[in-house]
Amino acid sequence: MGGLRLSFANKPVFDSRVRSEEVRPAEKILGYLVGPVGPALVNSVLASYLNVFYTDVLGLTLLWGGLFLLIFPIVSKVANAVVNLWVGKLIERTHTRQGKARPYLLVSAPIFLATTVLCFTVPNLGLVAEVLWVVVSYNLFYLCANSLYTMAHNLMVPLSTHDSEARGSLSVMNNIAQTMATGIIIAMLFPMLVLPVIGADQAAWAVMGWILGAVALPLILMEYYFTRERVTEEQGEQVAEEPVPFREQVRTVMGDRYWVILMLYLLIYTLSLNFKNLSLLYFCNYVLGSYNDGITLTLINVIGGVPMGLGIFAVWPVAKRVGLRNSTLWGFVVMAVGSSVCALFPTSMPVVLVGQFIKNVGCLPASYVFMALFADVLDHCEWRFGFRCDGLSSATYSIIQTVCVGVANGVFNLMLGVTGYVPPSVVDGVTVAAQQSDVTKAVFVFFFPGA
């Protein structure tokens, strides 16, 4: 699937529905707000609950003495990193009337549907078959569907326009979409309405997989049709030139301190976020509340997440006043304060809620203006070096995101296995939680409040 062979993308039926040379409301709402909600929803469910599906529904915690859920995600994410580099190079060598990144949104749409379903539709054919299904379906989703989609999606804001203010607006819209998926659907409705119903019932999880895939498909298509790569179009004849060798791009960007600092920030933030997301449900089920009670997790997400909703209206004006860089750095400090508050009193609901509130205030810059900062750094690299490093930068962005998921999953699952985590059981159609040791509970306390 070489970039230059995407001849289908040159057909009028696949043309963007965006005609204006300026970013207008329809593009903002449909391409950057509504469209990304579908894949963000799927990714949020997988990030927060796929590990729960493996440990609580399939009972894989102690497989190979706990080594399976340690090694499998890390190896998969290393492979994912290699694939992301390849996709980044592919994007740089793709030249169509739709742009260089957008065509891969279209390619990813049907694959996204199929692989989402496969992740949760695991047949009861014995342990070996289950393990093979888990490995194959997980890697098909992340190495194929998600790599193609995410790499293209991450470039939509930087390639949309050179207008910094319009790009900032698109970045906010993009992150509102993420907040809608994670902060409203996954954080509020899912733990309150879905988890208590599906429990540890494998068939119910499969139905959920079908629903998620069916929602994601049309929304990815909407994102494709209502985005446009104006920056790529403005390059005109330069697009046809041979791109700068990938190795040369790597050497060049590593000499730019802004690019390096931004990627280090992303690494720390993403690793912390993944530890928190993984341990959140376990922490609520065994430390702060009872198993899938529909209340504890919802309260944590709703009250702790209030800043994410209010921040939609405040973060961009503040960022413009103090600067994207300064607001992001200070946000990191506030996040650390919030985490410390939670870690000091992990069994107190009021204190944990206050800590989560503070922490999410600090998350606002990373959530809403990071893509605008990312775009500015890419522009700076172009100004300094004379060429764009979009594919490489998007690949690095995705590598950090994916490898952090694998590392967080592996380390967290290792701790579950070492401390003897006991999955729940289903008795007469009812999920019954097991009693966990104090050491296991301490793992949940460490990774959720402290992350």
Q: Can you give the pLDDT at residue 79?
A: 92
Q: What's the rounded Cα separation, in Å, for the pair 272 and 449?
A: 10
Q: Which residues of the chain have pLDDT under 50?
A: 1-4, 237, 239-240, 451
> Domain ranges in the chain?
25-233, 246-448
Q: Can you give the pLDDT at residue 449?
A: 65
Q: Can you give the pLDDT at residue 47?
A: 82
CATH number of 246-448: 1.20.1250
Q: Can you give the pLDDT at residue 303?
A: 77
Q: Can you give the pLDDT at residue 105?
A: 95
Fold match, 25-233 / 246-448: yes
Task: Report pLDDT digits (tens) over 232-270.
Answer: 888 754 544 556 777 788 888 888 888 888 888 889 888
* pTM, full prediction: 0.76
Phi/psi for 123 (5° steps) reads -70, 150
Please say whether the beta carbons of 145 and 111 come within 8 A.
yes
Q: What's the rounded Cα separation, in Å, for the pair 449 and 354?
A: 12
- Helix segments in 305-437, DSSP class H: 306-322, 324-344, 349-368, 370-385, 390-419
Q: Can you give the pLDDT at residue 192?
A: 84
Q: 150: exposed, middle or buried (C-beta count within 10 Å: 0-12, 13-18, 19+)? A: buried
Q: What's the rounded Cα separation, in Å, for the pair 200 and 194?
A: 11
Could you write out the DSSP letters of every residue in 124-160? -S-HHHHHHHHHHHHHIIIIIIIHHHHHHHTTHHHHH
Q: Which fold has domain 25-233?
A: Growth Hormone; Chain: A; (1.20.1250)
The token pair that represents 83 in the structure block: 């694939």
Please say whether the beta carbons of 441 and 286 come within 8 A.
yes
CA 141 to each of CA 74, 243, 426: distance values in angstroms, whole numbers, following the listed order: 15, 29, 28
The token pair that represents 446 in the structure block: 């460490």
* Residue with the two structure tokens 């309405």: 193
Task: Report pLDDT digits (tens) over 38-62.
Answer: 999 999 899 888 999 999 999 898 8
Q: Which residues pair with 427 in a beta bridge?
A: 430
